[in-house]
Every structure is written in structure tokens, then in C-alpha cells.
Amino acid sequence: MSNRTDSNSYTILFAVGMVLVVGALLAFVASSLRPKIDENKRIEKQQNILYAMGVNENDESSAIFISDAEVAEVFEKYITKQLVITDGTNVEESNDAYLIDVKKEQSNAKEGKERKLPLFVGEKDGKKFYVAPIRGKGLWDAVWGYVAMDANMVVQGAYFDHKGETAGLGANIKERFFMDDFAGEHLKDASGKFVGIAISKSNADPLNNDKTDNEVDAIAGATITGDGVAAMIKSELKLYMPYFNTLKK
Amino acid sequence: MGLLSKKDQKLILDPLADDNPITIQVLGICSALAITAQLKASIVMTVSVIFVLGLGNVVISLIRNIIPSKIRIIVQLTVVAALVIIVDQVLKAFSYQLSKELGAFIGLIITNCIIMGRFEAFALGNGPWKSFLDGVGNALGYGVILIIVGFFRELLGSGTLLGFKVLGDPIAKTGLYAIGYENNGFMLLAPMALIVVGIIIWVQRTRNKALVEDH
């Protein structure tokens, strides 16, 4: 190499120039694709909510959403009301409730500000579903999901997703064999107290026949992810208790 | 291939067989294990790597005379990282489900040893056209193995190819399943990828003894 490219000042200049060029390029790409990516995320939310209440195109083993093209229409058809709950029982209707960012609301709550809880009321085959979004921590990164319940807080269906859990282990929370176990599970114990659903390694009921034990079978090799899912179900859905109590009256 | 000279042809064709990055140079094994449970993921990874390595080689080759040698590794990393972020963003915008499935693996292209290896070993010393061919050739060589492994893992592990049930329905017991065939779930786990790669290496070296190293 020539002496020119070996000098310190040239090296520094080159580094600065490179950072500017690459930075500008990436900023341009990110901002020009942003609307399209946001749209994809919006569609995904609708698909997730519908999935939890059993509106999906599942075959016998894999989880398949309503297609991107149809989802807006189907969402309109099945989701009859979108609610925003504040203060536990203060309910407002809002057609954009599904766009509420749960992560942001969680940090609002932490700072002592009011937290908005979105709840989606759906109707399918004459049955009412209440779908709530939840969010928590897995082993590596965020885990989140949507849980569909009936008025007694019995789980009707669930969808879980994650940002970076280990493939083949924690990532299996979004597989049917795990998610399907939640259908029919009770969130409350026999006395009506909210206890959530534990993801249990010592579950004596691996076939999940007992729906009132507040337990589902854990995934082998994914203890921390499973605990994270159980913790988010417990802490997040508990917030909806006051609202569900008003439904009984 | 009339368009390419003999030398250029070699740049594309050699990595496909006798100088294959995975089976001969033993680079890029990590991603070959991680994403080959499905054929579709293998193909997408191949296309992404062709894009990143082909373009990356050209960029590095174009600036090879002005890169300060003291920071050349950092410059190479920046180029790969920038290209990978672009691939990631484009996938998120135009193939969202797929980008979710590939997830972390797209980011892992950055650490794919084949890419830094070709930058350092070829693009820094050759012109853009040759570097482009070398990049595409090596990415194809990597992709061929990925696709072979993906083919067998998906076929034997899930009984499907690109999601189509080619062997019949395991629940309804049609096709092969009617006579008692079962999917081998072990094929879906990473160790089997290593075994399939091992079998490919074995077959390749049996056919071409010149590839067998003396020890």
C-alpha cells in the first residue's frame, strides 16, 4: 500500500467519511420503507387478535393466519367492539384500540402515569370473546401474545410470539402444541381468585385434561421462556380483573 | 457461458464443487446448521447471501485502493453490516412473515465467515467484475449445500417440501403414511444438519480423490 493510505490523518478522515455515507444511506432506506413496515405490523396485530379467538386458517399442525389481503375485512366482521379500559373499570370504545402500544403503556404505568388497557370484544358462532394483549420478558428478549377469554376469564385461545427466543426451545412458544394447551384453562381458582396459568415442569397432567388446575405443561429446555410467559399472563391479565367483575353484575 | 472467459467461469464454478465454501473450506457451517430445517428458509438465506456477498465484494473491490490498511477489517464489517441491514429492512417491508421466521439469522449474515473471508482473500486484491463473480460463485456454492441439506431435512423431518405435503398426510394417513411411514423428528434438529453435511463431504471426496487431504 502507498504511504498515503497509511497516515493517521487519512485513516481518521476515511473513517469519518465512511460513517457519514453509510449512516445517510441507512437512514434513507429505513425512512423510505417505514410506512410499509408499519402497515405490515398493523396487519399482524389484527391477524394475532383474530388468531387468539379462533379465527384462523390452521391446518392440523401449523398456525396459519387469515391472509393479509382479507384480514381487514375479517377483523371488521368478527371484532364487534374495541375497548380502552382505564382505572380498572372506566371503559371507552375506540376503533383504534388495537394500535395501542402495550410496551409504551407499561412504561407509562411504571412512571406512575395512567395505563390504557385495550380489550377487543369479538363474536364468533354466537359466542363472545374478550381478547387482551399481553407483553413480558422471555430469556433473551421480549415475549408477547394475545389471550382470548370468555366472560368468566376462562381462556378460549392464545397466540404467543417472541423477539429472539432460542430456536427449537423457547421459540416453540409460538408452536401449536404449546399454544393449543391454553384453550379451556382457567385463570381463576375454584374460589374465584385470580391465579393465572403456571407453566409447569412438574405437571402431573401432560395431556392437559384437567383444565381447572391453572397449569399447562412446560416446554423441555425452555424453562426461563416458559416462566416469562406465565409471569406475563399473571401480571398482565390480572389488570383486567376489575373489568371482568363488572360483567357478572 | 460464452459471455465469460475461462478464468471467469472458474470463479463461478469452482466454489460450486471443488472449492465449495462449506464442504471444502469448511466456512459458514453455523448458518448451515441453523436455518436448514425448511427448504424455503434455505433458499431465502441463499438469495440474501448472494446479494450481500456479490455486492459487498464489488464495493470492497471498488474502494480497495483507498481503504486504509490499518482499519480494513472494520471497513469490511461496516460494508457487510450496512448491506445486511438493507436486506433486513427490505424483507420486513416486502416479506414480513419470512423476515420473522428468519429473524436473528438475517443479522447473523454479518458474522458469516464466508463473507469476511472472500472480502479479505479476494476482493481486496481483484477488480470489481472478478470480485462480483467470485462473490456470486461462493454464495452459490454455499447455497447449493444449504438447499441440499434443507431438501433432505424438510422431506425426512416434516414430510413436506416448501410446505407442500409431498409424502401424503401424516394425520389422515394417506400416501406413504398409509403403509406405516413416520416422519423423523430428529431431522429437524441441528445435529442432523451436521450429519447431512458430513455425508455430502464424504460423497464428494469419494468421487474426487484429489480433494482428500493427506494427514
Measured between CB atoms, which of A29, A43, A168 is closest to B89?
A: A29
Please name the residue that has the C-alpha cell 453455523.
B30
Closest B-chain CA to A64: B97
Of A78-87, A137-146, A211-220, least confident by mean pLDDT is A211-220
Q: What is the mean pLDDT of chain B?
A: 84
| Phi/psi-derived region of residue B8, left when phi > 0, alpha when psi is between -120 and 50, beta in every other case | alpha
Q: What is the pLDDT of residue A157?
A: 92
- Give B25→chain A minimum CA distance, Å: 27
pLDDT exceeding 70 applies to what percent of chain A?
Answer: 97
Cβ distance B80 to B109 under 8 Å? yes
Q: What is the pLDDT of residue A168?
A: 66
Measured between CB atoms, which of B74, B85, B103 is closest to A26?
A: B85
How does pLDDT run across B28-56, given as a tens digit for each residue? 887 788 778 778 778 888 888 898 899 99
Size of interface A-B (CB pairs under 8 A): 60
Q: What is the pLDDT of residue A3?
A: 60
Distance CA A20, CA A38 (A): 26
Alpha helices in A8-152 (DSSP H): 8-52, 71-78, 102-110
Strand stretches in chain A, DSSP E: 79-86, 90-93, 117-124, 127-137, 142-149, 155-162, 198-200, 215-217
Q: Is B90 within 8 Å of chain A by CB?
A: yes
Q: What is the pLDDT of residue A86?
A: 86
Measured between CB atoms, which of A5, A41, A164 is closest to B66?
A: A5
- Give A41→chain B minimum CA distance, Å: 8
Q: What is the pLDDT of residue B60?
A: 92
Q: What is the pLDDT of residue A1?
A: 46
Q: Which residues of A59-87 are buried (b: 16+ CB within 10 A; e: fewer)?
A: eeeebebbeeeebeebbeebbebbbbbee
Q: Do B69 and A6 touch (CB under 8 A)?
A: yes
Of B92, B108, B154, B177, which to mutate for an interface test with A (greatest number of A Cβ within 10 Å)?
B92
Of A124-133, A163-172, B81-90, least confident by mean pLDDT is A163-172
Q: What is the pLDDT of residue B1?
A: 47
Concatenated DSSP letters of B33-88 = HHSTTSHHHHHHHHHHHHHHHHHHHHHHHHTTTTS-GGGHHHHHHHHHHHHHHHHH
Q: Do B171 and A25 touch (CB under 8 A)?
A: no
Note the ipTM here: 0.72
Mean pLDDT of A41-63: 87
Whether the pLDDT of residue B179 is over 50: the answer is: yes
Of B30-34, B102-106, B183-187, least confident by mean pLDDT is B102-106
Whether the pLDDT of residue B62 is over 50: the answer is: yes
Q: What is the pLDDT of residue A130?
A: 94
Measured between CB atoms, which of B70, B82, B92 is closest to A25?
A: B82
Q: What is the pLDDT of residue A249?
A: 60
**What is the model's pTM?**
0.71
Q: What is the pLDDT of residue B215?
A: 66
Whether the pLDDT of residue B3 is over 70: the answer is: no
DSSP state, B17? T
Whether the pLDDT of residue A4 is over 80: the answer is: no
Distance CA B33, CA B145 (A): 11
Q: φ, ψ for residue B202 (rounded to 5)?
A: -60, -50
Of A51-55, B31-35, B205-209, least confident by mean pLDDT is B31-35
SS3 content of chain A, % helix, strand, coil (to 5): 40, 25, 35
Q: What is the mean pLDDT of chain A?
A: 88
Which band of pLDDT confidence, cut at 50, 70 and 90, is reported for residue B104? low
Residues in contact with A230: Cβ distance below 8 Å, sequence separation at least 6, in sequence order: A196, A197, A198, A199
Mean pLDDT of A234-248: 89
Whether the pLDDT of residue B130 is over 50: the answer is: yes
Please name the residue that has the C-alpha cell 467470485.
B134
Of A98-112, A187-201, B141-155, B182-196, least confident by mean pLDDT is B182-196
How does pLDDT run across A83-123, given as a tens digit for each residue? 998 887 788 888 888 888 899 989 988 888 888 899 999 99
Q: What is the pLDDT of residue B171?
A: 65
Query: Which of A55-59, A232-236, B176-180 holds the top average pLDDT?
Result: A232-236
Whether the pLDDT of residue A228 is over 60: the answer is: yes
How does pLDDT run across B158-167, given as a tens digit for each residue? 788 877 778 8
Q: What is the pLDDT of residue A94?
A: 86
Q: Is B125 within 8 Å of chain A by CB?
A: no
Mean pLDDT of A149-156: 91
Q: Is B194 within 8 Å of chain A by CB?
A: no
